[in-house]
Amino acid sequence: MRIGELAERTGASTRSLRYYEQHGLLQARRGPNGYRQYTEQDVKLVTEIRALLAVGFSLEDTRPFVDCLRRGHSTGGSCAESVEVYQRKLDEIDAEIRVLLGRRAEVAAQLAQSCPGCFVRG
C-alpha cells in the first residue's frame, strides 16, 4: 500500500509517517515507480506508535515497542524493554500526580484562608 492508504488506515498524517520514517521507526520500501510501499505490519507499527503517543509517551519511548513488534511478538508491550518503558512512564506519572496533589492542597489552603466557610470541592 502507498503512504496515503497507510495514513487513511491508521489515522496518521502522511507528514507523521515520513517523520516516523526519518526517526527509523518505520521503514518504507520503494516500488518500481519510486513510491513508498508499506505492508500490513506497518499498519500495526503505526497504530502502536499512535496509541503510545496519545497517552503521553515520547516518540523515542515508542522504539522498544516497535522493535518488539518487528521481532514478531503479537504486542509491542510484551518485551522486557517495553515493560521497562511502561514502568518508567508510570513512575513519571506518579511523580506528576504527587506534584499536582501538592498544588491542589496549597490552593485549597489559600481558598480556606481567603474565604472561611467556602466549600472546597473534592
Percent of the chain as helix, strand, coil, to the nearest 5: 65, 5, 35
Per-residue pLDDT tens digits for 41-69:
999 999 999 999 999 999 999 999 999 99
Give the CATH number for residue 27.
1.10.1660.10
Q: Is residue 93 part of a domain?
A: yes
Q: How many domains does the chain have?
A: 1
| Structural contact between residues 83 and 75, judged by C-beta atoms closer than 8 angstroms | no
Strand partners, 30: 36
The x, y and z cell numbers of residue 17, run together, are: 509517517
pLDDT in tens, the chain (122 residues): 999 999 999 999 999 999 999 999 999 899 899 889 999 999 999 999 999 999 999 999 999 999 999 999 999 999 999 999 999 999 999 999 999 999 999 999 999 999 988 877 77
Across-strand partners of 29? 37
pLDDT the model gives residue 15:
97
